Amino acid sequence: MRKSDGSYTYFLPDVAYHVTKWERGFHRAVNVQGSDHHGTIARVRAGLQALGLGIPPAYPDYVLHKMVTVMRGGQEVKISKRAGSYVTVRDLIEWSGGVRDGMSEDERDAALQRGRDAVRFFLVSRKADTEFVFDVDLALARSDENPVYYVQYAHARISSITRFAETEGVDLTGKINYRRLETEPELDLIRKLAEWPEILERAARQRALHPLTAYAQELAASFHYFYTKCRVVGEDKELSAARMSLSDATRIILKSVLSIIGVSAPERM
């Protein structure tokens, strides 16, 4: 616990910190650490038990993250703690947003927002204890292969349809005849929407966000399929209202998912 120079090892302040946390009323704590620190779990818990303060044996909880491999330009970005070479979150944000010299302030702000969205979405899209490769080139891609772009584009597409529906006089304030939704793309989207409460509960129970990002991609795929097979706004006003209501429900849930993980939900792209 005490080194030869009189200073303390990490063990003592770690235990003391958790004692004060418990005494301040934080009876549920989750430590987020790198997987290379897994050895501290048993030591800290044992230290807390040795004090006899009535702290539960499983206190605190832990989430251990594997290291992230960063790829850029098809090459792995070399990271070494010993050599002092590393990639910061700021680096990832700027690379993923395409920030470059000579940008105007507005362009830079927009690029940083894209970068923040990509980094947040990518980093929570895997279980903490699995290996993860962060592909900067994929984060920059404005295509269906980029998962965050794919989900955001679905939200922006629905927002565009909503604006068009308003100009066409589609009324969503009256009674909607949902029985008109009977094709497979429509039913598939309805079934996917119905999964949302269970997905949210699972994410909360697991204390993990990857179920949300996976669901967002599946919901976006269901909507894109529905959009290609079914004309949302047409001459049949009753059918248009039902399909528009279904689209709006999709938009609301997509926005909710993106909001939970801290990613923007653009109305135009």
Q: What is the CATH number of the domain that holds 207?
A: 1.10.730.10
Report the pLDDT value the prediction gives residue 39, as an integer from 0 to 100: 85
Residues 45 and 88 in one domain: no
Mean residue pLDDT across the chain:
92
Ramachandran area for residue 142 (φ above 0: left; ψ -120 to 50: alpha; else beta):
beta
Report the pLDDT value the prediction gives residue 68, as an integer from 0 to 100: 85
Cα gap 154→1, rounded to integer Å = 55
Report the pLDDT value the prediction gives residue 66, as an integer from 0 to 100: 83
Single out the residue of 93, 52, 251 nearest to residue 159, CA to CA: 251
pTM value?
0.84
Single out the residue of 69, 78, 65 nearest to residue 36, CA to CA: 65
Domain presence at residue 5: no
E-strand spans in 44-91? 61-65, 68-72, 75-76
Domain presence at residue 250: yes
Residues 155 and 126 in one domain: no
Res. 23: pLDDT tops 90: yes
Domain presence at residue 119: yes
The pLDDT tens digits of the residues spanning 178-225 come to 999 999 999 999 999 999 999 999 999 988 899 999 999 999 999 999
Structure token pair of residue 51:
């004090």
Contact predicate 147/214, CB 8 Å: no
Q: Give the sign of the dihedral formed by CA 73, CA 79, CA 83, CA 88.
A: positive
Identify the three-state secondary structure at position 258. Answer: helix
High-pLDDT (> 70) share of the chain, %: 97
Res. 85: pLDDT tops 70: no
Report the pLDDT value the prediction gives residue 131, as an integer from 0 to 100: 84
Single out the residue of 163, 135, 162, 161 nearest to residue 148, CA to CA: 135
Cα gap 45→59, rounded to integer Å = 6
Res. 245: pLDDT tops 70: yes
Which among 41, 65, 89 is the end of a domain? 65
Identify the three-state secondary structure at position 41. Answer: helix
Which among 65, 80, 106 is the end of a domain? 65
Average pLDDT over residues 3-12: 75
Structure token pair of residue 241:
């209202």
Structure token pair of residue 37:
């620190």
In a 10 Å sphere around its CB, with 0-12 CB exposed, 13-18 middle and 19+ buried, how is residue 84 labelled? Answer: exposed
Structural domain tally of the chain?
A: 3
